[in-house]
Chains A and B, each alone.
Chain A
Amino acid sequence: MRRAQAGDASAYARLLSELGNAIAGYLYHRFGPVSFAEDCVQECLIAIHEARHTFILGRPFRPWLFAIVRNRAIDMLRRQQAYSRLFSAGLDDVEGVAVSALESAEHEIRVTSAGSLFASLNPQQREALTLTKLLGFSIAEAAGRLGISQTAMKVRVHRATRAAAKMLERSHE
């Protein structure tokens, strides 16, 4: 990082490529095989680039790095939620697809032992996040799938997102 701050392009390229792999591993470990992982890695790399002047030499690098990664990941989760709501608003009947997709997504997360963050959520929160974040259903569709009101679904997703964010924060404090 010192050399990158001094303007050494090759050292910086090496650093970014190593960090990219580390961030991808981190995201896989936390969230499991989510579709937005690569986008998130690239957003993190851009954020690291924009924030590189704030790294104070002599300070530990990991907390600085993961504060940025965590922030980008939470941001990405929120954006995914908004995007999936917008995108799937026009979809009609997805009920049949939902059952098998939900089961296979949850199964994959459990079997691969990845997604430790998802796994540590309670079943209701995990279900809410899996439906809205991994499978991309809108709040209305997810609520219909679970047989609960849209408000209750929103509350579940909100609580699950907050719980996930808190876990992310705690894991690096």
Chain B
Amino acid sequence: MTEDREHLIKRLTRDLQPVRMPWSPVRAGLLWWISTWVFVTGIAFVLEPPRSGALIQAATHGQFLLESVLGLVAALVIAVFAFGDSIPANARRAMLQVGLVLAAAWILAYVIGLEYPALTPSMAGKRPHCFLEIFVYAVPVSLAGIYLCGRYYVLAPVRTTALISLAAAMVPALLMQFACMYDPAHILSHHILPIPMVVAAAIVVHRLVLWTR
């Protein structure tokens, strides 16, 4: 062993304190996901009420329910993976693959909906700033998620940032399924399109923060 290494070990072990064990990442991911829903739903519905009859439509139209459940599960799986991935060698790649496949299926459902919509497309319940709202809601919850992941030990920061912001942006996008007008073309251009933009912005900001350190 070199002298340098010996010196380093002495420095690392000096005044060693017991570590505080963090929450299980799965539990933290679940809590973040639930808090995200509470935060986004709370603000969105305070600003403007949901589309009337949206919940009943979910109960009576299978395809509409399927679209919602696909997005819901995809966001949950991606969020839990991102938190699990914050601990070295903890998360399983298969989980991420499942999450991404579900997210792709969720988007595909709207593409199919262009031809075979789950509900009759209508302007009822349209929110004037739904596109912007998704950005505004996704940013703080993304930041909170990235901060919480940072309390573990993130080995792939860009991946974690991308996945957390993806899950964070999917929540308001999904909420708009009930809060805004239903039209697959509108959903794709105003609710889904902001998602990759939020992810890209989060990665750029993250890179800038790392670069300026």
- B13 adjacent to A13 (CB under 8 Å): yes
- B17 adjacent to A7 (CB under 8 Å): yes
Chain B 1-45, CB-CB to A under 8 Å as 1, else 0, gives 110111011101110111111101000000000000000000000
Residue of B nearest to A41 (CB): B5
Best-surrounded residue of B14, B90, B156 (most CB of chain A within 10 A)? B90
Cα separation A46 to B19 with both chains bound (whole Å): 15
Cα separation A67 to B6 with both chains bound (whole Å): 23
Contact for A20 among B5, B13, B87, CB less than 8 A: B5
- A38 adjacent to B87 (CB under 8 Å): no
- B12 adjacent to A45 (CB under 8 Å): yes
Best-surrounded residue of B2, B14, B88 (most CB of chain A within 10 A)? B88
Contact for A56 among B8, B86, B87, CB less than 8 A: B87
- A46 adjacent to B8 (CB under 8 Å): yes
Contacts of B89 in A (CB 8 A): 63-64, 66-67, 172
Q: What's the nearest-Cβ distance from chain A to residue B66, in Å?
A: 34
B contacts with A: majority SS: loop
Determine if A52 is an interface residue (Cβ-Cβ < 8 Å). yes
Cα separation A13 to B14 with both chains bound (whole Å): 9
- B155 adjacent to A16 (CB under 8 Å): no
Contacts of B17 in A (CB 8 A): 7
Contacts of A63 in B (CB 8 A): 88-89
Asked if A38 meets B5 with Cβ closer than 8 Å, knowing A45-B12, A53-B22, the reply is yes
Determine if A105 is an interface residue (Cβ-Cβ < 8 Å). no
Q: What's the nearest-Cβ distance from chain A to residue B150, in Å?
A: 12
Residue of A nearest to B18 (CB): A7
Contacts of A10 in B (CB 8 A): 13
Contacts of B116 in A (CB 8 A): none
Contacts of B9 in A (CB 8 A): 13, 16-17, 20, 45
- B18 adjacent to A5 (CB under 8 Å): yes
Determine if A71 is an interface residue (Cβ-Cβ < 8 Å). yes
Residue of B nearest to A50 (CB): B153
Chain A 44-63, CB-CB to B under 8 Å as 1, else 0, gives 01110111111010010001
Contact for A53 among B2, B13, B20, CB less than 8 A: B20
Asked if A6 meets B152 with Cβ closer than 8 Å, knowing A16-B9, A38-B4, A42-B8, the reply is no
